[in-house]
Chain A
Amino acid sequence: MKYLACLITLAATPALADEAWVTNEKDNTISVIDIATQEVTRTIETGERPRGITFSKDFSRVYICASDSNTVQVMNPETGEILNDLPSGEDPEQFVLHPDDRHLYIANENDAVTTVVDVQDRKVVAQIDVGIEPEGMAVSPDGKVAIATSETTSMAHWIDTATHQLFANTLVDSRPRHAEFTADGAQLWVSAEIGGTITVFTTADQAEVGKVHFAIPGVNQDLIQPVGFRFSPDGTKAYVALGPANHVAVVNTQTLEVEKYILVGRRVWHLAFSPDNSLIFTTNGVSGDVTVIDAATDEPVKSIKVGRFPWGVAMRPTPAN
């Protein structure tokens, strides 16, 4: 019976519902969560130390940063089969897919470069020198600007995607981790883990226009460390993972004030909205689980055990057929 259960877990089964795909950094696996039942339905093996994860626009492929295998894997999400590896540069940690669905901008954490890869030709298009330990990656909605943030250099590097040249380097607080453009592309937000802030820039002139600060009663200020974050679909709120503070902050994007802190699992890294936008899934590295937050009430509703050290999360809607 145990054997049978094992087989079922390993066998790739077609998705019958919306799914959350979670990379487990210390297990070399992906846990696939059925969003309707909130159960892990599949565990898929990956390369070593999977972290960043994202789907192609039509969800026919999933890209996985296998950091310690020094590659980006391309997987068929139906079967779990690896279709091919992409030349990613050394130690790819995080990446972003350009709106053209063709170019991946990859942060090479150990190499102080950003690698641009054409996923069709499977070729490196450019390598761009950035600061030490690049991590956060973002592309503007119009595709013209890519951002790499470097942890040890405390900067957001602004890359012209047409020329692959840096055109600005803006300081943020210590150890930037994640960058996101607002949906209209007007602002860039960058989280700083050790600085404990998010810096907000206007995209047009790369000027700093504001900062988000965090404070949780009873939690040491030095341990409130913003890492991954996402904007709500209507753009009014940002949900910010606060690392070892074990909370997600809900930030009003107009006032930059925190409206609420949601208790989640330990060392929360990243988060993502379910395809229908009703739920938020957070990856909690130290507790090895995922917290499900009800986006209507901003209340945590469930914890789901996944693998060791869950890091990235990406959503796959029910295939339309």
Chain B
Amino acid sequence: MLAKISGMLTAAVAAVAWSGAALAEVKVNILYLRHEVARPPVLSNLDPVPENLGIAGAELAVNEVATTGRFLGHNYALTVLSVPPEGDFTAAARQALGQAQLVLLDASAPDMLAVADLPEAANALLFNTSSGEGRLRDADCRANLLHTALETAARSDALMQVLQAKQWRRLAMIVGPKPADQDFAAALRHSAAKFGLTIEGEKDWTFDTDLRESTMDEIPRFTQDLPDHDVLLVADETDDFGRYVEHNTWAPRPVAGSDGMVPTAWSPVIEAWGAAQLQDRFTRQTGRGMAAQDYAAWIAVRAIGEGVTRTGSAAPATLRARLLDPALALDGFKGWSLSFRDWNGQLRQPVAVVNARALVTLAPLPGFLHQVNEMDTLGLDRPESTCTAFGGTP
């Protein structure tokens, strides 16, 4: 299409020009620091984890903010450093912090805390783009660590808001054996209690056979003795067995949680609120759909860009102050203007509740009210938090 148009140009394509005084040059160096993980095998090979998960989001966003920067004399550079599973992550971080003080962390919670506590990171601004662990927003929060990754509790809260709104209040749950499954199950239990739903019964997933050819024999029997329920929850955070549960249950019940109806920060099925344009840009760049972790990295870079654009500075302290300002209105392509919780550094954001083919709804749902911001009905709220690094009292 573009080629067709250039052929029709009757005047030269106008170049970008600026008027007025010379612009102040600002260099913005952003580091994407990943600690690779050895992923456990899963039953299905249908959806491999992309090699550039997260990184692709940061790459897209840096192109976007660079476009704004072009008009303002702000130059952005993104460096990706990926440390192998057995590599010394903290040592790599220590060295890389000499080059860049604006850092996206794609790592486990212990790795993140180790980096945040380095003397080299004392004046840096770090973004957690990968971990949903609650403690990073609670007792183990750090003043130099903001979170664009959704916390696990915000996901479980969003799902329970939806189930409560639908009046599907009696739940049963299948819990996988991995630590992440256990954490998500704990979050689901907590959220169920928070929003007045009941988990009538639970079963641990213990199969160690290849179920792919026997799901129709095994899963109906496995779910037969669960107490009566409206919805079957599945806690399977590594995408191992959850996909085989739906439509194989004993009772005709919807599945939700890690599979079926899924609460997530982002999904390729989100189209509204300008998201179609973002999805389109992402897919054109990567050839795949945009996942939640891509989104977390994308919005971290966009947040940096917003800070630099508004302050004309790339100094971490200046950007941190700007991002924690309650007046921040970050465009997250989810219909709400986004800001950071200034008491634990978590990005306030709506949570999409999706199935494989469509957005079911976006939480917070109407009617779930909050004295500060309805988005704070999702995840750890200020009165419950023991985070003090942001100046609050426990």
A residues near B306, Cβ cutoff 8 Å: 174
A28 at the interface (CB under 8 A from B): no
Interface 9-residue window, one of A51-59, A128-136, A181-189, A232-240: A128-136
What are the residues of chain A within 8 A of B4 when measuring CB–CB? 87
CB contacts under 8 Å to A, within B36-51, are none
Give A195-228 interface residues, CB cut-off 8 Å to B.
Answer: 195-196, 220, 222-223, 225
Q: Is A154 an interface residue, CB under 8 A from the partner?
A: yes
**B71 & A169 in contact (Cβ 8 Å cutoff):** yes
Contact A124 B5 (CB under 8 A): yes
Please state if B2 and A111 are interface contacts (CB–CB under 8 Å). Answer: yes
Specify which of B10, B17, B280 is in contact with A125 (CB 8 Å cutoff): B10
Known: A125-B11, A165-B17, A168-B19. A175 touches B68 (CB 8 A): no
Residues from chain B with Cβ under 8 Å of A132 in the complex? 64, 67-68
Q: For the complex, what is the distance from the CA of A279 to the CA of B379, rounded to whole Å? A: 46
- Measured in the bound complex, the distance between the Cα atoms of B8 and A154 in whole Å is 30
Residues from 99 to 131 in A contacting B, C-beta threshold 8 Å: 109-112, 115, 118, 121, 123-129, 131
A109 to B4, CA, bound (A): 18
- B window 20-35: CB within 8 A of A: 20
Chain B positions within 8 Å of A118 at CB level: 10
- Asked whether, in the complex, the Cβ of B17 is within 8 Å of the Cβ of A126, the reply is no
B207 close to chain A: CB less than 8 A: no
How many chain A residues have a CB neighbour from B under 8 Å? 46
Contact (Cβ within 8 A) B13 A127: yes
A153 to B12, CA, bound (A): 24
Query: In the complex, which residues of chain B have a beta carbon less than 8 angstroms from the beta carbon of A222?
Result: 329, 336-337, 373, 375
Contact with A along B47-71 (1 / 0, CB 8 A): 0000000000000000010011001
Interface string of B262-279 (1 = CB under 8 A from A): 000000000000100100
Q: Is the CB of A154 within 8 A of B373?
A: no
Residue A40 interfacial (CB < 8 Å): no
Asked whether, in the complex, the Cβ of A223 is within 8 Å of the Cβ of B336, the reply is yes
A168-B20, A194-B331, A195-B337 in contact; A87/B274 too (CB < 8 A)?
no
Q: Are A110 and B280 in contact (CB under 8 A)?
A: yes
User: Could you say which of A90, A128, A194, A220 contacts B2, with CB atoms under 8 Å apart?
Assistant: A90
Contact B331 A89 (CB under 8 A): no
Cβ of B91 < 8 Å from any Cβ of A?
no
Task: Give A155-190 interface residues, CB cut-off 8 Å to B.
Answer: 155, 157, 163-169, 171, 173-175
Give A195 to B339 CA distance when docked, in angstroms. 11
Does B274 lie within 8 Å of A133, measured CB to CB? yes
Report yes or no: B14 in contact with A128, Cβ–Cβ below 8 A: yes
Given A174-B329, A174-B330: A124 and B14 within 8 A (CB)? no
Nearest CB of A to B305, in Å:
10
B239 at interface, CB cutoff 8 A: no
A124 and B329 contacting across the interface, CB-CB below 8 Å: no
Question: What distance in Å separates the Cβ of A308 from its nearest Cβ neighbour in chain B?
Answer: 14
Chain B 65-83 interface mask (CB, 8 Å, partner A; 1/0)? 0011001100000000000
- Return chain B residues, CB-CB under 8 Å to A153: 64, 67-68, 71
Contact with A along B306-348 (1 / 0, CB 8 A): 1001100000000000000000011100011100000000000
Report if A152 contacts B (CB, 8 A). yes
In the bound complex, how far is the Cα of B336 from the Cα of A87, in angstroms? 35
Chain B interfacial residues counted at CB < 8 A = 38
* A218 CB to nearest B CB, Å: 10
One digit per residue, 1 when the CB lies within 8 angstroms of any chain A CB and 0 when it does not, for chain B 358-393 equals 000000000000000111000000000000000000
Say if the beta carbon of A70 comes within 8 Å of chain B: yes
Whole-angstrom CA separation of A225 from B334 in the bound complex: 13
- Tell whether, in the assembled complex, residue A127 and residue B14 are in contact, meaning their CB atoms are under 8 Å apart: yes
Distance A258 CA – B374 CA, assembled complex (angstroms):
24
Give the residues in chain A near B16, CB-CB below 8 Å: 129, 166
| Partner of B5 from A87, A173, A194 at Cβ < 8 Å | A87
Contact A194 B329 (CB under 8 A): yes
Q: Are A127 and B9 in contact (CB under 8 A)?
A: yes
Contacts of A244 in B (CB 8 A): 335
Taken together as a complex, chains A and B put the C-alpha atoms of A173 and B72 apart, in Å, by 15
Determine the chain B residues whose CB is within 8 A of the CB of A121 once the complex forms: 10
CB distance from A236 to the nearest CB of B (A): 29
CA of A121 to CA of B10, assembled, Å: 10
Q: Is the CB of A126 within 8 A of B11?
A: yes
- Output the least CB separation between B23 and chain A (Å): 10
Residue picked from A131, A133, A153, most chain B C-beta under 10 Å:
A153
Whether a CB of chain B sits under 8 angstroms from the CB of A34 is no
Known: A194-B329, A195-B329. A126 touches B14 (CB 8 A): yes
Residues of A within 8 A of B309 (CB): 154, 171
Distance from B178 Cβ to chain A, minimum over Cβ atoms (Å): 36
Which residues in B have their C-beta under 8 angstroms from that of A70?
1
Query: Which of the residues A89, A110, A127 comes within 8 Å of B277, measured between beta carbons?
Result: A110
With A131-B71, A175-B331 known to touch, is A126 a contact of B277 (CB < 8 Å)? no
Nearest chain B CB to A105 CB, angstrom units: 12
Bound complex: CA A211 to CA B352 (Å): 32
| 19 A-B pairs with C-beta separation under 8 A | A89-B2, A121-B10, A126-B12, A127-B5, A127-B9, A127-B14, A128-B13, A128-B14, A129-B15, A132-B64, A152-B68, A153-B71, A154-B331, A167-B17, A167-B19, A174-B331, A174-B337, A196-B329, A220-B336
Given contacts A87-B5, A126-B9, 17 further A-B contacts (CB under 8 A): A70-B1, A89-B2, A126-B11, A129-B15, A132-B68, A155-B68, A157-B71, A164-B11, A165-B14, A166-B18, A167-B18, A169-B72, A174-B331, A174-B337, A194-B329, A195-B329, A220-B336
Instruction: Identify the 6 closest CB pairs spanning chains A and B, nearest first.
Output: A164-B14, A169-B71, A194-B331, A174-B331, A153-B68, A222-B336
